[in-house]
Amino acid sequence: MNLKPFVHTLDLGLIDYKEAWDYQEKLFKETIDLKIAARNGETEEMPQNYLLFCEHPHVYTLGKSGKQDHLLLDDVGLEAHKASYYKINRGGDITYHGPGQLVVYPIFDLEQFFTDIHKYLRFLEEAVIRTLAEFGIESGRMPGLTGVWLGYNDDNPRKICAMGVKCSRWVTMHGIGFNLNTDLSYFSHIIPCGIDDKAVTSMQQELGHPLERQEVLAKLTKHLSDLFEFNY
């Protein structure tokens, strides 16, 4: 009988983007180093898996395939909006993180789950879709675009969850930004994910009231556990 992988769930709260990135990098490197040591017969220890939950102060991040001009603020504008900016090592274009957004960083050794990055991305989306459904919000996917969308079948599509990941030796980092009670005005200072003809939304905007972060986090964790078949 195969035992389900165990995933450590850590809520880091409101944390500086660079501090969280450095912590991800530390766990990511430890996991890869352990996998290399195991392949070389130096250890039988299994890598640990982590789900990091957090929020960030206002920050814009640009992925490897992004364009600098998708950020519409200069240094003075960033300072005026109390926002920072980083070029980072995930896929995807530019996005915004800030208070009221639930950010999820899975540090998974996919060889303990499945070795299929497309399936990994779809499972992250599906967990958000199932979570939104519990609050009466219908959501889904749009052809050729990652993330989770509302109004995906009509002429008013709006994104509620953005995604950008890195995977090396089947170890993942970075992840999703899920808009709960997010100040959506900050998205007006970028071309989100390089898409300039579609809107961004949040659960608060759709439902007309703020959400309890811990309630959404708990439901999302349960759906991730069901999809990826892990214990936590």
Backbone angles phi, psi at 160, to 5 degrees: -115, -15
Contacts (Cβ under 8 Å, ≥6 apart) of 58: 81, 82, 83, 84, 96, 97, 98, 99, 186
Cα angle vertex 146, ends 25, 183, to 5°? 75
From CA 27, how far away is CA 50, in angstroms rounded?
8
From CA 217, how far away is CA 179, in angstroms rounded?
12
**167 has catalytic annotation:** no
Which residues, in sequence order, are bridge partners of residue 187? none
Residue-by-residue DSSP string for 1-46: -PPPPBEEEEEEEE--HHHHHHHHHHHHHHHHHHHHHHHTTS--PP
Any idea how long the chain is?
232
**Location of structure tokens 């200072």:** 189
Burial class (CB in 10 A: 0-12, 13-18, 19+), 47: buried
Which residues, in sequence order, are bridge partners of residue 42? none
From CA 220, how far away is CA 133, in angstroms rounded?
11
**Location of structure tokens 């001009």:** 69
Q: What residues are annotated to the active site?
A: 193
